[in-house]
């Protein structure tokens, strides 16, 4: 089997000292301020003067801001993290100009993730210990798994989530062995009752992680609504709500990792639907179930793991009527409502809706791989 070098992030919990937590919290605030102010300056320059401010221009702005006595607190944290905030803003603009995302938005103190990124000049890594710039002691990291032998982090990102958990993500170069070629090919139909249905006929039950904790979450949210804004009790209950959400997200991510890894290991080619989840969640009766299924997250995992291990993922056009086409004779059912889970074709074939859709998705995806063309429904 061949091997390849990839950049891979390893994420760990860590427990900061009181001094480290104070410094990192101030760093998060400074990073957010620099990002937002640079965004405001770049927006103003374009709207008023039709002038495009470059990354180098924002770096010069940062130097001037640090010279302002009123902003002296910017010098109390690592300059590396502030520079990286400007890099992140530049990347957001590049994505916008390339039409991969919308115009950059301001970071919110409440809604945005508190994080700071450090390059090699902002931290040291020796004997398995990380020491950040301006921190007197190394971080107390829980090494749930070891970094690859000989790997040295090129970038570390420190974050604190809404549940007040601290994490450090280390980007390293790792060697990954590509998997041996497999004759198996599979179509994947995403659903709600079954998280996915495979063209082999297998149905993977939807764990419905949010539904399992829904009663507990609703009780905590009602309790939060009764607390006075700004009170200490409200802070405690808000943390309780955040921990329930974190527990749901952790379970969901773990299940998706296991499912995506199994699908990639067992199949050479995986065909999926190019679903527009953003539009689908506008259906208020299904929005909660669709969000809990996390189809976009599953697709992302399938794609990057396929790239790692030498597999192929093909996306079929979202308008392809996979459920309505008979996988035996090709007849298209003119009307097939969502509540019909099994139907019979005039040719006599009896179809399970989801299995039939998965089989058609696989066939369409293989056609795409041969013709290099999109798959769309026939139009009158």
Residues 130, 190: one domain? no
The answer to the question of residue 311 being in a domain is: yes
Q: Is the pLDDT of residue 375 over 60?
A: no
pLDDT band at 377 (very low <50, low <70, confident <90, very high): very low
Residues 16, 62: one domain? yes
Residues 118, 197: one domain? no
Catalytic position from the list 273, 303, 352, 373:
273
The answer to the question of residue 163 being in a domain is: no
Range of the domain at 111: 11-147
The answer to the question of residue 36 being in a domain is: yes
Short-list 332, 323, 331, CA closest to 359: 323
Residues 190, 90: one domain? no
Helices 18-49 and 55-67 pack at an angle, to 10 degrees, of 120
Residues 189, 65: one domain? no
Residues 271, 342: one domain? yes
- Answer yes or no: 254 catalytic: no
Give the pair of three-digit tokens for residue 56: 């180098």
The answer to the question of residue 225 being in a domain is: no
Q: Give pLDDT tens digits for 256-300.
A: 999 999 999 999 999 999 888 878 877 787 888 888 889 999 999
Cβ–Cβ under 8 Å, residues 74 and 130: no
Catalytic position from the list 49, 173, 189, 307:
189
Residues 306, 200: one domain? yes
Q: Is the pLDDT of residue 2 over 80?
A: no
Q: Is the pLDDT of residue 147 over 70?
A: yes
| Element containing residue 22 per DSSP (H, E) | helix 18-49
The answer to the question of residue 218 being in a domain is: no
The answer to the question of residue 309 being in a domain is: yes
- Answer yes or no: 173 catalytic: no
Short-list 159, 166, 74, 168, CA closest to 128: 168
| Of residues 100 and 285, more confidently modeled | 100
Q: Give pLDDT tens digits for 289-348.
A: 888 889 999 999 999 999 999 999 999 988 888 888 998 898 998 888 888 888 889 898
Cβ–Cβ under 8 Å, residues 195 and 293: yes
Residues 268, 322: one domain? yes
Tell me how far apart the terminal alpha carbons of the chain are, to the nearest angstrom.
49
Catalytic position from the list 137, 213, 354, 373:
354
Domain count along the chain: 2
Residues 77, 197: one domain? no
Cβ–Cβ under 8 Å, residues 271 and 227: no
The answer to the question of residue 257 being in a domain is: no
- Answer yes or no: 273 catalytic: yes
All residues at 6 or more sequence positions from 334 whose CB lies less than 8 Å from its CB, including other chains: 324
Q: What is the mean pLDDT of residues 103-126?
A: 92
Q: pTM of this prediction?
A: 0.86
Residues 75, 189: one domain? no
Residues 97, 42: one domain? yes
Residues 76, 194: one domain? no
Query: What does the mean pLDDT of the chain come to?
Result: 91
Tell me how far apart the alpha carbons of residues 86 and 92 are, in angstroms, rounded to a whole number. Answer: 10
């Amino acid at each position: 089997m061949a091997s390849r070098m990839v950049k891979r992030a390893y994420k760990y919990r860590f427990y900061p000292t009181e001094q480290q937590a104070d410094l990192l919290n101030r760093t998060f605030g400074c990073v957010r301020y620099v990002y937002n102010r640079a965004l405001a300056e770049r927006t103003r320059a374009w709207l008023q003067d039709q002038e495009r401010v470059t990354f180098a221009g924002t770096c010069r702005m940062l130097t001037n801001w640090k010279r302002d006595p009123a902003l002296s607190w910017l010098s109390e944290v690592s300059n590396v993290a502030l520079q990286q905030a400007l890099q992140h803003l530049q990347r957001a603009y590049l994505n916008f100009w390339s039409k991969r995302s919308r115009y950059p938005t301001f970071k919110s103190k409440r809604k945005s993730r508190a994080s700071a990124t450090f390059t090699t000049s902002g931290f040291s890594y020796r004997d398995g210990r990380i020491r950040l710039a301006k921190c007197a002691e190394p971080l107390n990291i829980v090494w749930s798994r070891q970094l690859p032998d000989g790997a040295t982090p090129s970038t570390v990102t420190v974050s604190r989530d809404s549940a007040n958990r601290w994490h450090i993500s280390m980007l390293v170069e790792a060697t990954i062995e590509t998997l041996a070629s497999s004759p198996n090919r599979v179509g994947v139909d995403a659903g709600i009752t079954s998280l996915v249905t495979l063209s082999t006929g297998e149905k993977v039950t939807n764990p419905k992680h949010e539904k399992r904790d829904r009663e507990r979450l609703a009780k905590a949210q009602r309790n939060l609504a009764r607390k006075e804004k700004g009170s200490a009790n409200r802070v405690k209950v808000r943390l309780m709500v955040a921990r329930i959400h974190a527990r749901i997200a952790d379970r969901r991510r773990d299940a998706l990792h296991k499912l995506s890894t199994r699908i990639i290991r067992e199949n050479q080619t995986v065909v999926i639907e190019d679903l527009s989840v953003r539009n689908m969640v506008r259906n208020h009766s299904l929005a909660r179930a669709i969000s809990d299924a996390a189809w976009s997250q599953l697709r992302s995992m399938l794609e990057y793991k396929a790239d790692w291990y030498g597999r192929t993922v093909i996306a079929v056009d979202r308008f392809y009527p996979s459920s309505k086409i008979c996988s035996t004779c090709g007849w298209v059912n003119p009307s097939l409502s969502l509540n019909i889970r099994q139907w019979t074709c005039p040719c006599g074939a009896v179809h399970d809706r989801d299995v039939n859709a998965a089989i058609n998705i696989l066939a369409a995806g293989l056609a795409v791989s041969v013709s290099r063309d999109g798959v769309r429904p026939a139009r009158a």
